[in-house]
Structure 1
Amino acid sequence: MTYAILALALMVQSAEAEPVDAGILEQLAWMEGCWRADGFAGEMSECWMRTQSGELVGAFQYSAQGTLQFTEMLMIGTNAEGEFGYHVKHFNRDFTGWESQNEQVTFDYRQISETRIEFRGLVLEFDGPHAFTARLDMRQRDGSLTTEVFEFSRISP
């Protein structure tokens, strides 16, 4: 009974909450749909859709030599800790997770313009209705930082 009351209270609280960053999310309508790019000696694709409450959620897959290597669940929105950003959960091919159950990789929001959104370590730049560029900072084993660039093209609206 206590759990049911707590669950109901959380649902009511969630339903009443206005998305804090709704304006930012509205500017990302261009991301909705499916995209593909080459990179890391393979190919990747991702699909984004908008939730009823305004967040963007997506699924990502990376394949090399015709074999799925890993997937990601994605969200641009506010996580359970109240952090607005680009949130990622990674999964192996067998769907075992890289992060623990309550952890995720978060790229903190920095700024947005009409054609570009910047997160700490990740920049997405709209290149027109059928293309966008992703720039991902990656820490190397020796501690150095490199930036990988991925040119995505739209495969479906």
Structure 2
Amino acid sequence: MKNLLLFFSVLFLTLSCKAQNTLTYNNEKGVSKATLQDVEWISGTWRGEAMGGICEEFWDKPSAGTMLFCFKFIENGKVVFYELGHIKQIDNSLVLEIKHFGPDLKGWEKQDEKESFQLVKIESNKVYFDRFTFEKVSENEMNIYVVFEESGKEMKFNYKRM
């Protein structure tokens, strides 16, 4: 019985660790060094399905210290919301900044507010921002993992290059 309990405990911990694809920024560790060239592989037009609808994203190539993106979520043939943002070079690191808009282009955040996600670290095929991870699966496929603030749950968005 003891061995069975130990087996299930180890299995649960293994599955829990494997499912976690995002990291949280820690002020005490400081910022990771990176440039926009380290994340240039994200640039392009992407499409996928998530949250019961279709997700489309466009990322431009690095220029003027940023990589601009726009996101559109479509459900039942209608736009539900948009996001506009960028990955911005700040000193020797990166930050992801996002603003949300309804289908009528009315902003969700106040005019001078935005969501910011500090870079945590970069690996060969993953870019970790605070609660937000980009994973390069191949030249034509990527996953984005996001931890939603309200629920604390991580969601996976799988994209194919268009």
What is aligned with 2:152? 145
Partners of 2:131 and 2:33 in 1: CA distance: 22
Partners of 2:89 and 2:39 in 1: CA distance: 15
Q: How does 1:43-54 map to 2 (within 5 A)?
A: 43-54=54-65
Identity of aligned residues (%): 23
What is aligned with 1:24? 35
* Higher deviation after alignment, 49-58 or 122-131: 49-58
Report the aligned-residue RMSD: 1.9
Residue 134 (str. 1) matches residue 141 (str. 2): no
Q: Which amino acid aligns with 2:142?
A: F
Q: Secondary structure at the match of 2:153?
A: strand
The structure 1 segments of at least 4 consecutive aligned residues displaced by more than 3 Å after TM superposition are none
1:136 and 1:149 in contact (8 A); partners too: yes
Q: Write the deviation string for residues 22-73 of structure 1: whole angstroms up to 9, x where unpaired.
A: 9421011211110011011101100000253241101100010000010010
Q: Secondary structure at the match of 2:60?
A: strand
Q: TM-score, normalised by structure 2?
A: 0.74
Q: How does 1:92-131 map to 2 (within 5 A)?
A: 92-131=102-141
1:85 to 95, 100, 109: 95
Name structure 2 gaps, 5 residues minimum.
1-31
Higher strand share: 1
Name structure 1 gaps, 5 residues minimum.
1-20
Number of residue equivalences: 129
